[in-house]
């Protein structure tokens, strides 16, 4: 399981300014969804003991836009730190609110350090998650989602969901 999801999607990196692309199956459910982004808001919850420890949380909010810059939706990610040694591993759930519905994804991002820092980025520039479902056009969706960090200095990343 760790091999599939251990490098989860998004940690600190997202705001959308590219494209949302859809391929549609005969059922009308999009089969492929692509977009990019960076955080529009980031908050932390440092749960006792003080400092980075299991249970600490990162709450990220994203603004999703199309390539022309028009807002197309939002996303919210809640990541919870589960271990700090030797790598900081977390579990994350992200709700992407897109024009055709909401897409829910679970992931397991890992960090070398700095989970409670706004500049923390995942260990790998390629992360993976599991699509759990959604609403609207994504009702009953399942599949995988990948995140590619395209510019760590600007906290910019792009997602691709492949739905079955």
**H helical segments located in the chain:** 2-5
Segments making up each domain of the chain, as ranges = 2-163
CATH of domain 2-163: 2.40.480.10
CB atoms within 10 A of CB 41: 10
Q: Report d(CA 61, CA 45) in Å as an integer.
A: 15
Query: In the structure encoding, which two tokens stand for residue 82, read together?
Result: 């589960």
- Contact yes or no for 97/74 (Cβ under 8 A): yes
- Residue 155 pLDDT greater than 80, yes or no: no
* Cα–Cα dist 122/109, whole Å: 6
Global pTM value: 0.77
Structural contact between residues 101 and 161, judged by C-beta atoms closer than 8 angstroms? no
Tell me the three state secondary structure of residue 63: strand
Mean pLDDT along residues 29-47: 84
**What pLDDT digit, counting tens, does each position of 51-103 carry?**
899 999 999 898 887 767 678 889 999 999 999 988 999 999 999 999 999 99
Give the DSSP H/E element, type plus range, for residue 8. Answer: none
Residue range 20-38: mean pLDDT, rounded? 62
């Amino acid at each position: 399981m760790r091999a599939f999801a251990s490098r989860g999607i998004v940690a600190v990196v997202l705001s959308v300014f590219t494209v949302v692309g859809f391929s549609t199956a005969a059922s009308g459910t999009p089969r492929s969804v692509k977009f990019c982004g960076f955080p529009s808001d980031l908050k932390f919850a440092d749960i006792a003991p003080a400092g980075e420890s299991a249970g600490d949380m990162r709450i990220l909010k994203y603004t999703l836009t199309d390539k022309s810059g028009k807002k197309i939706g939002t996303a919210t990610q809640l990541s919870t730190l589960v271990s700090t040694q030797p790598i900081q591993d977390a579990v994350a759930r992200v709700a992407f609110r897109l024009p055709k519905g909401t897409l829910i994804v679970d992931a397991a991002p890992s960090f070398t350090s700095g989970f409670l820092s706004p500049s923390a980025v995942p260990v790998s520039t390629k992360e993976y998650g599991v699509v759990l479902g959604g609403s609207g056009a994504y009702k009953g969706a399942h599949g995988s989602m990948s995140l590619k960090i395209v510019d760590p200095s600007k906290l910019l990343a792009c997602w691709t969901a492949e739905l079955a």
